[in-house]
Every structure is written in C-alpha cells, then in structure tokens.
Amino acid sequence: MKMAKRLLAYSLPYWRALTIAFGLILFTSLAINYLPVLIQRLTDQCLMNTASPAAERIDLLLKLSILYISIAAAGHGVRYLQGILTAWIGQRIIYDLRLEVFQKVLRMQQAYFDKTAVGTLMTRVTSDIERLQHFVTEGVVGTVADLFMLLGIMGYMIYISPVLSLAIFITLPFIFAYMILINVKLRNANRDIRDRQSKLNALLQEDLTGMTTIQLFNREAATMADFDERHTHLRSAYFEEVRWFSLYFPTVEGGQMLAILLILAVGGLFILKGSETITLGIFVAFLAYIRDFFRPLGSLSDKAGSFQVALASIERVFALLDSSEEVNDPPEPESPERIAGSIAFNNVWFAYNDDNWVIKDLSFAVEPGQVLAVVGATGAGKSTIINLIGRFYDVQQGSVSIDGTDVREFGKHDLRSRLGYVFQDPFIFTGSVADNISLQTPGIDRPDIVRAAKTVNAHRFIEAMPKGYDSVLNERGAGLSLGQKQLLVMARTLAQNPELLFVLDEATASVDTATEMLIQDALAKLMANRTSIVIAHRLSTIRHADRILVMRHGELVDQGTHDELMARDGYYRQLYELLLHSPE
Amino acid sequence: MKRYFIPHRAGIIATVLCVLVTVGVNLYLPYLMRLVIDGLTEQTLGKAELGRLLAIYLSAGVFSIYFSRQLRKIPLKLSHKIEYALRTDVFEHLTRLDQEFYRGERTGDLMTRMSSDINMIRDAIGQGLLQGIRTIGVLIFASMVMMLTEPKLAGLVFALYIPMVVIFFLLLKVMRRHQKELQEHVSEVSNFSQESFSGIRTIKGFALERRRNGQFKKLNRDLVKKNMRLQASRQSLWPFMAFWFSLGMILILNIGGRKIIEGKLTLGTLTQFIQYLLYMQWPLLALSWTMSLVQRGKVSWTRVKEILDKEPSIKENGTVEPVARVSDASICFQDLKLQIDGRTFLKDIDLKIPSGTTLGITGPTGSGKTLLVSLVARLMDPTEGAVLIGNEDIRDMPLVQLRCMIGFAAQEPVLFSRTLEHNIGFGVEKPDKNLIGWAAEIAHLRNDVENFPDQFQTVLGERGVTLSGGQRQRTAISRAIARRPDILILDDVLSAVDTQTEAAIMSKLQPVMAERTTLFVSHRVSTLRYADRIVVIEDGHITQQGTHEELIRRPGYYAELNTMQQLEEKLEAGS
C-alpha cells in the first residue's frame, strides 16, 4: 500500500491532466450510454406509436437518428482524446521515473556494480518500469474508466426501467464472482506456465551448451528423457490454462443469454399483463445495454489481483532508488585550479570485503611529473591503488592525498575529470570514432581529435576506415582489433588532457608485434610530462619508469629504479626474469 | 508441417462441428427473440406460448454454450499437442547434430527457436484453427440467413462491414509500423543503458555521468514521443470501431424503421437483424489479427525447419553392427589434415600411440591440440587421412561403440546442474557408490566432497554449490575415468589446480593411466614428464617429439617452457 501511495506521488505533478482525464471519462460514459435511451425513444415514439401520422413519425425518426449519430461521434471522439491523454500521463510519469532510475544507477559506487549483474540493472530500467507504466495507465486509470462505464450503464438502466434492471442485477454478483474465479485460475495457470517454461529453458540451455559432453558420454537417450519430463510438465500447465480460458468467453456468452432471457421473460409477462411500465422500446434498449455491460465487467475481473505482479516490480524499483551510494561528496569540496601532481599514500589499509585486506599499511609518494610503475604477481593489489586514487572505493584506514589534500575532500566528479585512465579492457562507446575520442567534451574540436590520434599512432588506421573519423563504431567496437581499440582509447585519454594518468597495462596475447610497438610508443608519449602510475607488465614500460614499486600480497616489498632493484637480486629480479621468459 | 496435423484430424473435424453448432444456435436465438417481440406487438402471444419459446431459448443457449467451450478447448489443446510434438522432434534432432552445427550457432539463437518460435507456431495453429474456421462459418451462414430474412437490410450490413474491415486492417498496419519503430527505439534505449552499465568504469573514470544522463534524457524523451505516436493509432482503434458500429445501428434503425412505419417490416425482424450485426462484428475483426498471427507463425516455422533440415556431418558409415570388441586400444593418426571453413588447423599429423602408453601433447595456445584429441572421439572428421583405433578406421565403427571406449575430460568442462554423483556417473549405465567413490578418490576430489553440504548428493550450479575451476576440472576427470574407458583423453584438465594438488592427482592417476591408452594435453612440464612420449604441436603440425629427457636437452619450445616453469617455481618457493 505504501508503495502504491509513493507511486501515486509521481502522478501528483500531473493532477490537472488527470482531473481532465477523469472528466472526459465521465463525459464518455454519460454520452455513449445515453444512446440506448435514444433507441428506446425512437422505438416507442416513432416505430410503435401507431397513433400519430406516418409523416410525423418519419420526421422524428430522422431527427432522433441525427441526434444519435452526433452523440455517438462526440462520445467516441472524447473517448479517443481521453485515451491519448491517459497514455500521455502514463508516459510522463514513466519518463520521470526511468530518468531517475538511470541517474541513480550511474551515481552508485563501484562496489555496487561488482555485486550487481548488468542484466539485473537492465531489468529495472526496462521491464520493471514497463510494468509500472502498465499499472498506471491500464491499472489505475483503466479501473476508473471501467467503473464509470459500468455505473453509467447501470444508472441509465435503472432510469428507464427499475424492474428489468433489478431482475438483471440479481444475477450479476454470481456471474462476476465466476469471472473473477476464472481469472484467478488463469493467472495461476499462467504463473505455472512461466515457471515451467523457465525450468525447461534452463535445462535446454544447459543441454545445448553441453551437447558435446552428452554425445561423448552416450547420454542422448537419458537427456531426452529428462527433457521430456519437464516438457510434459509444461504441457500440462498449458492444458490447465486452456481449461479455464475455454470457460471465459462461454461464461460471458452465458451471462448475456441469461440476461436476454430475463428481459424476455420479465418484460414479456409485464406486457402480457397489459402493464404500461415496460414498452417494446425499453425491451430493445435493454438488449443493447446487455451487450455493453460485460466488457467493463470482464476487464474489471481481470484487474482484480493483477496488481500483485505490478507491485513486485514497483517494490524492486523503489528499493533501487532507496539504496545508499556510500561514497559521498563533502559538503564543500576542494577544487584547486590545477593539480601539480604529487600523490601520497599514508598507511593505507583497504579490503573489498570484510577483513580480506588487499592493501596492507601501504605508504609511498609520487612527485609531480614522475612515472611510477607498480609490479607484482596477480592479486598483489596493484590495480586497487588506482581504484583508491579515483575514489572508486574509499580507504578503510590511512589516507590517499593529491597535492597534500585528502582525496575524500574532493568532489568525485571534479576529481575524476582531472584523472585519465587507460584500462586493460578498452571500452568503446556506440558512436563515431571522433566522439569516442572527444567524449563530446566541450572544447575538444576536430583538430584536437586528429592531433591526439596522430600522437598515439591511431590516425593511420582511422583514416583507412570507410568514413574516417566519422565511422560509426558499435557494440564495443566490433570490427576493430584489440590493438586498434587500445590505441583509440589512448587517443581518447590524451585528448582529455588529464592532470594525472593511470595506466593498467596488461600484456595482451592477441596483439601482433607491429601493433605492440605502436602501443608502447603511444604509452610513452601519453606519460611524457605527466604524473603517471602504471600497473606494468611490459618490460619496456617498467624499465623506463622513474621509480618502481614492488608489491606482494598487498604489501610494499621494495622500491627503487630498475637498476637499483636488479642489483639487489631479490623478488623483483625473479619477477623480471619470469616476464622475460613468458612466451606471450 | 502436414505430418503434425494428420494425427489430429478428428480434432479438426470436431472444431468444424462446434463451429456449425454454435453459429447455428447463435443465428437461431435472434429468430426466437423476433417471435417473442412480434407476438407481443401483435398481441397474439399467450403466456403458455411465451413460456414455450423461452424454454427453447434456454435449452438452445445451454446447448450452444457447451459447444462454444469445446470450440475453444479442442483447437487450443490440439495446438499444445502439436507444439509438444514439434519441440520434442527438434530437440531430438539437436541431440544428433554435431560440433559443425554448434560451432555456427549461438545458444541464445537456438533457445529462441526452441521457445518463442515454437510458441509462435503453436499460437498460429491454435488461433488459426479457432478463428479461421469460426470466421468462415459465421460469414457464410450469417449472410445466408440475413439474405433470406431481409435482403435489403443484408445488403446494407455488407456495405458497412466491408469498408470497416478494410479500415481496421489499415489501422492495424499503421499501428504495427509505429510499434516496430517504437520497438527499435526501445532496443536503442536498452543498448544505451546496457553500454552505460557495463562501461561504468570508463564513465566514472572520465566523469561522464552528466553527459551520459543528458544523452539518456534525450533518448527517453524520444521514447515518449514514439510511444505517443503509437498511441495515436492504437487509441483510435476501439473508438473508431464503436463509432462505426453505432453508425450501422442507426442506419439499420432508420431504413428498417421507415419500413416498419410503412408496415412492411416488423420490429421483431429488425431486432433480429441488429443481433446479427452485433454477432458478426467480432469474428470479422479477429480475422485480421489471426491473419497476422498465421503470417508470423509461418516465419517462425521456416526458422524451426532450418534446424530440422540440418543433417549431422558425422555419419554412421555402412553397418551399425558393432565390430568385435577392439582388444587393442592403440591409436594411429595417418597423414592427417583438418580444415574448417577453408582454414587449415592441422596438417601432416602422423602418430602411433601403442596400446597402454601415454602421449603428452603440448604447444602454444591455439596450435590445434584440442582439435587433435577431438578427432579421436569423432567430434569431427579429418579432411584428409584417418584415425585408427586397433587398426580399425573409426569411421567404420558405430558412434556409440567408439564413444563407449573413450573417457574424455576437457579443460573447461560442462557440468550439469544435478547432484555431484549424477555428474561423476554421467557416462555409466548404472553407477554404484563404490565406483563414484573410487573415481572421486583418483581425481583428488574426496576432501572437497566431504566439505560439501550433502556430499555426493550436493547439487551443482546456480541453485547449489558453485565449484571452483579446479574442482570442475577434477569432477570432469572423475567423470571420464568412472567409465573405465580403454582410451583416456585429458585435455589440459589440470590447468586450474595448484602444483601440489596436481602432483597428488598425477600420482593417483598414474596406475589408471598405465592400464589404458592415454592422450593428455598440458602446458605444464611437471605433468608432461609422466608421459611415455611427448609431442609439441605448433601452428597445426608436430615440431618436436620425444621423451621428457630428450626434449629438455633439445633447443625449442619444450626446453623454453621448462626454463620458464623452473623460474616460476623458484618464485613461488620464495613467497
């Protein structure tokens, strides 16, 4: 209930439009349901009124017909407008909500993305939101419209003949209850179908991935049997659905027949008795009402209970909106004009979860303009250093500072806009090559883009593409080799002209030697005159660094220049020789 | 497709019968109504006569409702039976298709064909039968009855309904076009979101959140716009139909009304007509919907048929009679060449592996090691040359017999979301506890199993225990040896276990390997040294072969590998 209330809060900005929509619904109901009243008048006053002259009756018939069609046009026209208006309101509400959810996700801290699958996030912005939209338009507004329709019909029915109305209304609760029963059963059957279909799909997916294994172990027959078990199970759920579905329309049909029977019986008896309360016109009008009566009734019975599904989606979306963002900005963040570029770690301790320390009591400093290489085996905590400076995570103990200011004093956004990254997995956005380099940052024009590309040796292959810098890249840069993607990403970083640079430089197996040379050259140019931290795997980068940190299990074991460290003949030397011999 | 319908002939005939009954009754009831109304108008109707007419009405109604239910139940149930038969056939076919097929197909795409496409076919069949037969029945009989009752009014109804159906059809078409545009935009929005979420590090790294939000806002706004464009046609559908219907109603009342006033028509007949008008409306509108459903069903059918038409490339040659149990499990590669899609992956492979010996295979990533061992199990056939087992070309053996001889464990094994016991005993007809225990023991899995919640009954996978890479590989080894095969193939199965476990496994595996012909692929010198002979495959052909002792002395890939791994060991020992 609280959820529904909160959702209604989103419709508050549109209360004017909503009021108008409800007004239009009311008008539609009154206009459209007035039409059978006209039929009654037409029958009694023109067709059956043998007392007055034929010419007069034909004249009246024409007049009433014109009135009929005008009211019908107005009623259905207004209904169309109301449909559009309601859809628009629903769209606006969802627009606001979708935007809010998207912005919220982008604000979440990195740790959240480590835990949450992209698929789950996608479900929130797509299908969950769609269900919400359905809830607002079909659910809330739809229910109101159905109720108005039903009340309108019932009102007119009572107005023209209380007796006949009463006869029909008595049967109503039973038919409505039966329709609700069918709809509940149908929904249960549908849930079973979904469950069993997804179980079958899970098995199928596994079998298809493991088909070679199945064949190698001669398991075809057994696999078929397992498949058949779930498949039969699914089929029986479908049969259950058919069982109830096949009852729905006959029930409506039966309800209509019963109502017609009642009209004929009760009306017939009254007329036979010579009563004036029921005329043939009323008879004909009621036949028309009966037809219209069951549509809103059916749609209402369908909605009773379908809110449950929508509420689950609403709950998930709100849970996302309510989750905390952890890394928060200070109230008055520091924002120096320009960062000189000294970085210091002071007794830093950090763990991604619990007491699993990835960084243990780490202290080091980098002078402005220096290139610092960090080396160590996998899992030594190298890349965590970069994560901490950019505040992807905050330290648990100690501090990280830039130019003597704790990074937590900076605003995240401002801080990161001064940093540049080259990740090992180059990420390409859908869009043109030029946009991928400039990232559409104001002030980076085509000449800047080309200059950056030329510097990092990317210009040549970009020029070779069919549309050069305007070539559109899609889906993570399909069509580019890994080496080309890396060069492109470097051009991007260079164009952004970051004040501090971080490079995750994993050696990549699938890059050929020629491209490898280009990448190394580009890296050197990127780092020139810039404070840089390189998580290094390439020997050339390591050798040319101003200083090297040697890490092991989250601790600093040694530091110095390449020559100094080699002279010591310790852990570094072993690491270095291993790199020298690795085949890739 | 035909053969799926033939078993259901009776159902189709029953559907036709149901249509005849329901349509008949639904045309008859308004006639009863007319008798009542006219009787009342002309005051010729007595109480008893009214009662009699109403009793007929009631019994005809009940009768028709029963058939109306069967009309839905029979074809829909039938469609689910066909769906079931079709999906079973496709799956059965899929278990016979080999690697050549699976290499070219994405699992996601196959899944779509197995679920949504077959569902689409089923809907087309079910609704096609139901709505198709019904519409035809309604059209034929309603027009006949209407022509017989009052030809002029009947003409008017046709004149009204033909343009209505045409306009409805056009509206649907416009709607579908907008729907498609919207769908395209929706996938653009989800691609954008997907990209934003998976590229979150880059976005945060370059502080692009605001720009990304701005772009999303624009996409979102367009989404509203496209949606509204669709709504403009969708919302018009029902009011348009209802208005058109009101128009028909008033025209009939007007023209029929004049006739009544002139005394040429009774109110009862007019009412009867209006009821027919109402009755014909829905089947006609459902027709265009059904037509598009059938259209889409046809497209799905061609996609499903593509699978059914694929023939496995690994074929049984000649007789399926099993050859006499091959006593000699020696393997021989004869002048072998393998090409896939025109690219050569293996060439000039000539190898003899005597029964009961172990061959180690090594070489850089992508050099063709896995392909070589796959050929032994006939996961594919060589382009040229042959693989012999016990001097018998494996293409002349029944597949089942060949694979029964082989225990195969792969580097990235596929395990199934069932119990551990099921997975280990996967290739054995009736596995007993001792066998499972033994196989787990050899693969050094015992300690792990004891720590699992339900030991051997522990369910693996998402809903159970997630195994580490090493545990998965060891389970695959257990699975392979549990078959007690003549030939054991281990394709880099120890890459994810640490050196100590590796040594423990190798010492237990040794006696098992000694009884069989073993091929094992590895990157580790420490494992390869157990082999009787080692071959190095580089770029699809054999570059070195010999024993461990011979190879470490010869300059080349193997010696390099050896040096590097010694360095690595030193590094690990130091830590």
| Chain A residues touching B50 at Cβ < 8 A | 264-265, 268-269, 272
pTM: 0.74
> 3-class secondary structure for A267-307?
HHHHHHCCCCCCCHHHHHHHHHHHHHHHHHHHHHHHHCCCH
The tally of CA atoms less than 13 A away on the side-chain side of residue B328 is 11
Contact (CB<8Å) A246/B408: no
Contact (CB<8Å) A439/B87: no
Contact (CB<8Å) B107/A205: yes
Out of B40, B208, B246, the one facing A268 most closely (by C-beta) is: B40
Contact (CB<8Å) B73/A283: no
pLDDT at A68: 93
A234/chain B closest Cα distance in angstroms = 9
Out of B111, B257, B483, the one facing A205 most closely (by C-beta) is: B111
What is the distance between the alpha carbons of residues A83 and A57, in angstroms, rounded to a whole number?
38
Percent of chain B with pLDDT over 70: 95
Question: pLDDT tens digits, residue range B62-119?
Answer: 999 999 999 989 999 999 999 999 999 888 888 888 877 777 767 777 888 888 889 8
What is the distance between the alpha carbons of residues B247 and B242, in angstroms, rounded to a whole number?
9
Q: At what angle do helices B151-198 and B209-262 cross, to 10 degrees?
A: 170
pLDDT at B165: 80
H or E, element range at A532: strand A531-536
A365 bridge partner residues: A344
- Suggest the residue from B27, B45, B206 to mutate for an interface test with chain A (most A CBs closer than 10 A): B206
Kindly compute the dihedral angle of the four CA atoms of residues B360, B364, B370, B373, in this order, to the nearest 10 degrees: -30
List the single residue in B with minimal CA-CA distance to A552: B575
pLDDT at A506: 59
Q: Using the Cα atoms of residue A565, residue A568, residue A570 and residue A576 in order, give the sign of their dihedral.
A: positive
Q: Which amino acid appears at position A583 of this protein?
A: P
Q: Is B158 on the interface with A (CB under 8 A)?
A: no
| Chain A residues touching B130 at Cβ < 8 A | none
What is residue A410's three-state secondary structure?
strand
pLDDT at A43: 87
Q: Is B16 on the interface with A (CB under 8 A)?
A: no
What is residue A439's three-state secondary structure?
coil
| Chain B residues touching A377 at Cβ < 8 A | 571
A308/chain B closest Cα distance in angstroms = 25
Contact (CB<8Å) A242/B77: yes
List the single residue in B with minimal CA-CA distance to A94: B224
What is the distance between the alpha carbons of residues B12 and B485, in angstroms, rounded to a whole number?
53
Out of A80, A98, A552, the one facing B236 most closely (by C-beta) is: A80
pLDDT at B323: 60
Q: Which amino acid appears at position A128 of this protein?
A: D
List the single residue in B with minimal CA-CA distance to A475: B195
In sequence order, which residues have a C-beta less than 8 Å from that of residue A327 and are 6 or more positions away? A109, A391, A393, A394, A412
B2/chain A closest Cα distance in angstroms = 21
The ipTM assigned to this model is 0.81
Q: Is B208 on the interface with A (CB under 8 A)?
A: yes
| Chain B residues touching A512 at Cβ < 8 A | none
Q: pLDDT band for B570, please (50, 70, 90 cuts).
A: low
pLDDT at B318 exceeding the cut of 60: no
| Chain B residues touching A129 at Cβ < 8 A | none
B285/chain A closest Cα distance in angstroms = 16
In sequence order, which residues have a C-beta less than 8 Å from that of residue B447 and are 6 or more positions away? none
Contact (CB<8Å) A218/B404: yes
pLDDT at A584: 43
Q: How far is CA A509 from CA A279, A482, A494, A513, in A?
A: 92, 10, 24, 10
Is residue A167 within 8 A of residue A270, CB to CB? The reply is no
B95/chain A closest Cα distance in angstroms = 6
Total CB pairs under 8 A between chain A and B: 342
pLDDT at B575 exceeding the cut of 50: no
| Chain A residues touching B72 at Cβ < 8 A | 242, 245-246, 249-250
Q: Which of A286, A63, A35, A283 is nearest to B257 (CA)?
A: A63
What is residue A1's three-state secondary structure?
coil
The tally of CA atoms less than 13 A away on the side-chain side of residue A231 is 24
pLDDT at A306: 62
| Tens digit of pLDDT at every position of chain A (584 positions) | 677 777 778 888 888 998 999 999 999 999 999 999 998 888 888 888 777 888 888 888 889 999 999 999 999 999 999 989 988 888 888 888 888 888 888 888 777 777 777 777 877 787 788 777 777 777 777 888 888 988 999 999 999 888 888 888 888 888 888 888 888 888 888 888 888 888 888 888 888 888 888 888 888 888 888 889 999 999 999 999 999 988 888 888 888 888 888 888 888 888 888 777 788 888 888 888 888 887 787 777 767 656 666 777 788 888 888 887 765 677 777 777 777 778 888 888 888 776 778 888 888 888 888 888 888 766 677 778 888 888 888 888 888 888 888 888 888 778 888 888 777 677 788 888 888 888 888 888 888 888 888 888 888 888 888 888 888 887 666 667 777 888 888 888 888 888 777 777 655 545 566 677 777 788 788 887 788 888 877 677 777 788 888 887 778 888 888 888 878 877 787 777 776 665 44
- Suggest the residue from B26, B95, B209, B571 to mutate for an interface test with chain A (most A CBs closer than 10 A): B95
If one counts every other C-beta atom within 10 angstroms of the C-beta of residue A558, the result is: 16
Is residue A90 within 8 A of residue A136, CB to CB? The reply is yes
Q: Using the Cα atoms of residue A303, residue A306, residue A308 and residue A313 in order, give the sign of their dihedral.
A: negative
Q: Is B1 on the interface with A (CB under 8 A)?
A: no
Residues within 8 A of A (CB atoms), B 402-431 only: 403-404, 406, 408, 410, 413-414, 416-417, 426-427
| Chain B residues touching A65 at Cβ < 8 A | 250, 253-254
Contact (CB<8Å) A272/B45: yes
